C-alpha cells in the first residue's frame, strides 16, 4: 500500500512486507524486467533499472534473483508489459489510485473493476483524481547514527529535499517530482542505502474514517494489492495511530 497520513502508511507497509514478502518480490521483479527491457541491462546507463535494483536490495532480494530478472527483461523472449493506471472511489468517499503493469489489459481491468465492485467502490475515469494526489519523490532509509542531523538535513535540502522527517528509526524524505533524480544522486554521493526510493502519489486531502468504515475500505485495498498485475495502490485515508492494529 502507498499513501500518506504523515508516515502511518509507510509504517504499515513496512510491517506488511514481512507478511507479503512473495508479493513484494513479484512486483519488484516485474519492475526490474520492464526497466531492463526498456533501457538495457546496464544499471549505470539505465536510471530506472538502477532505482529498481536499489529497491530490490532494500527489500533484501537475493542477488541472483535480481540478476535473473535483468536477464529476463533484456532477453529476446521478454514479456511485453504495459503500464496503466486506474482511478476510483472506495466506500465513504476514499480516493483510490491504482498503478498496474500487465501483459493482458483485459484481464487487469476486469480484475480491478471486480475488486471495486465487490467492496462497495466504483471505478472512475482516468484523470478524475488528479486534484487529490500530488506526484512526489519519497525516500525511506534507516536513521543514521554519528551524524550531525542539522548538517545532514541541509545536505539533503541541497539535493532537492522538501521535507525531512524521522519516524520510528527511519528517515522519510520527500521532494518534488522534478527533483527526484537529483536527490537520488545526492543519496548515492552520501552513500545512503535506501530501503525504498520511488515516485509516489501523495494525497493533499485526507478522509478520516471510523473503525468499521476503515476495515471495509482496507478489504478493497488489500484485494487490489494481492493482484499480481497491480504494482502500487494509493489512497487518501487519514489513518490514526490508534487504528494501526486494525489494518
Q: What are the E-state strand segments in the chain?
A: 2-3, 82-89, 95-102, 122-123, 133-142, 161-167, 170-176, 196-203, 230-235
Burial zone of 239 (CB within 10 Å; 0-12 exposed, 13-18 middle, 19+ buried) = buried
Determine what percent of the chain is predicted with pLDDT higher than 70: 91
CA 118 vs. chain centroid, Å, equals: 24
SS3 label, residue 65:
helix
Q: In this predicted structure, what is the pLDDT of residue 23?
A: 80
- Binned at pLDDT 50, 70 and 90, residue 21 comes out as low
The grid coordinates of residue 181 equal: 533524480
Say whether pLDDT at 17 is over 60.
no
Identical fold at 82-131+204-240 and 135-203?
yes
85 bridge partner residues? 99
The answer to whether residues 191 and 141 touch, using CB atoms and an 8 Å cutoff, is: no
- Select 2-74's CATH number: 3.40.50.2000, 1.10.10.200, 3.30.70.330, 2.40.50.140: 1.10.10.200
Q: Closest Cα partner for 26 from 235, 177, 229?
A: 229
Q: How many CA atoms lie within 13 A of 5 on its CB side?
A: 20
* Terminal-to-terminal C-alpha distance of the chain: 11
The pLDDT tens digits for 92-138 are 999 999 999 999 999 999 999 999 999 999 999 999 998 999 999 99
Q: In this predicted structure, what is the pLDDT of residue 24?
A: 87
Say if strands 161-167 and 170-176 run parallel, antiparallel, or are unpaired: antiparallel
Rounded to the nearest integer, the mean pLDDT of the chain is 89
The pLDDT tens digits for 223-238 are 999 999 999 999 999 9
- Please state the φ and ψ torsions of residue 226, each to the nearest 5 degrees: -80, -10
- Binned at pLDDT 50, 70 and 90, residue 4 comes out as very low
- Binned at pLDDT 50, 70 and 90, residue 218 comes out as very high
Domain limits, the chain: 2-74, 82-131+204-240, 135-203
Say if strands 2-3 and 230-235 run parallel, antiparallel, or are unpaired: parallel
The CATH number of 135-203 is 3.30.70.980
Q: In this predicted structure, what is the pLDDT of residue 20?
A: 61
- Please state the φ and ψ torsions of residue 189, each to the nearest 5 degrees: -60, -40
CATH class of domain segment(s) 82-131+204-240: alpha beta
Q: Closest Cα partner for 199 from 37, 16, 5, 52?
A: 52
Amino acid at each position: 500500500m502507498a499513501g500518506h497520513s504523515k508516515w502511518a502508511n509507510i509504517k504499515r507497509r513496512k510491517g506488511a512486507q514481512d507478511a507479503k514478502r512473495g508479493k513484494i518480490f513479484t512486483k519488484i521483479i516485474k519492475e526490474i524486467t520492464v526497466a531492463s527491457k526498456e533501457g538495457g541491462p546496464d544499471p549505470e546507463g539505465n536510471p530506472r533499472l538502477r532505482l529498481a535494483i536499489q529497491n530490490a536490495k532494500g527489500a533484501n532480494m537475493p542477488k541472483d534473483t535480481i540478476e535473473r530478472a535483468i536477464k529476463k527483461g533484456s532477453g529476446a523472449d521478454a514479456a511485453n508489459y504495459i503500464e496503466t493506471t486506474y482511478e476510483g472511489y472506495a466506500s465513504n468517499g476514499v480516493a483510490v489510485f491504482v498503478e498496474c503493469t500487465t501483459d493482458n489489459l483485459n484481464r487487469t481491468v476486469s480484475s480491478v473493476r471486480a475488486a471495486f465492485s465487490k467492496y462497495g467502490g466504483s471505478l472512475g475515469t482516468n484523470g478524475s483524481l488528479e486534484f487529490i494526489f500530488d506526484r512526489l519523490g519519497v525516500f525511506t532509509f534507516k536513521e543514521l547514527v554519528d551524524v550531525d542531523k542539522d548538517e545532514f538535513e541541509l545536505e539533503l535540502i541541497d539535493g532537492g529535499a522538501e521535507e525531512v522527517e524521522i519516524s520510528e528509526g527511519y528517515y522519510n524524505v520527500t521532494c518534488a517530482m522534478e527533483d527526484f533524480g537529483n536527490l537520488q544522486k545526492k543519496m548515492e554521493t552520501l552513500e545512503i542505502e535506501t530501503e525504498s526510493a520511488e515516485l509516489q502519489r501523495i494525497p493533499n486531502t485526507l478522509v478520516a474514517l471510523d473503525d468499521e468504515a476503515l476495515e471495509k475500505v482496507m478489504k478493497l485495498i488489500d484485494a487490489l494489492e494481492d493482484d499480481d498485475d497491480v504494482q502500487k495502490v494509493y489512497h487518501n485515508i487519514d489513518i490514526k495511530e490508534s487504528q494501526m492494529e486494525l489494518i
